[in-house]
Amino acid sequence: MVKSKATITLDKDKASKAAALVGGRSLSETIDLALDRLIRSEQLRHDLAAYARRPPDEYELAIADLPVDFDLADEDVDYEALYKDR
């Protein structure tokens, strides 16, 4: 993980409370942990929102059943040479 220095302005009381809640870690460790938890929380929120959306209807599901036309009779392609090991 690449880390870089940053200058931020924050509420010292909030930072102290957060550090105390996570076991008296340094300010850098506390902020890093807070960011990790925020990222996880927001990713979960996005995942839950995706699951809560309307499921695909019968027409959207039917797309998977449409036939696919493969034309393997191309004169300029040697499919046996390309796929002989498969």
Nearest alpha-carbon partner for 31 in 47, 16, 46, 51: 16
Task: Provide the pLDDT for residue 45.
Answer: 93
pTM recorded for the entire structure: 0.56
The gap from C-alpha 36 to its chain's centroid, in whole angstroms, comes to 14
Tell me the pLDDT tens digit for each residue of 27-62: 999 999 999 999 999 999 998 888 888 888 888 889
List Cβ neighbours of 15 (8 Å cut-off, separation of 6 or more).
27, 30, 31
More confident residue, 19 or 76: 19
Q: How far is 11 from 38, CA to CA, in rounded Å? A: 18
Assign 9 to helix, strand or coil: coil
Nearest alpha-carbon partner for 31 in 48, 49, 10, 47: 10
